[in-house]
Amino acid sequence: MRPIGITHKSDGVELMLVHQCMSCGKISKNRIAGDDNVATLLAVFDISLNDSEAQQVMRAQGIVACVDREDVERFEHQRV
């Protein structure tokens, strides 16, 4: 599995990491946990903004990618 983006949970508040299986291409979402590294999450977010293939895959699955960097940065303050 490789991370391809970040999305919001259906509640619109919690963030989820979007992964794609490197073998079969299956997409899955996992809640971001309190011990996840924020710098790594920001890197995934930044890369995903410029990855048109990942954006297309997420849209095809009905996943709306997070496009506001502040949402990811805010996560660090919410977990304290």
| pLDDT of the residue at 66 | 93
Q: Each residue of 43-52: pLDDT tens digit?
A: 999 999 999 9
| DSSP-H helix ranges across the chain | 38-49, 52-60, 69-78
pTM: 0.86
| pLDDT of the residue at 74 | 82
Place of tokens 């710098």: 39
| pLDDT of the residue at 77 | 64
**Is the pLDDT score of 10 beyond 70?**
yes
Q: How many CB atoms lie within 10 A of CB 77?
A: 8
| pLDDT of the residue at 79 | 56
Q: Each residue of 17-76: pLDDT tens digit?
A: 999 999 999 999 999 988 889 899 999 999 999 999 999 999 999 999 999 999 888 876
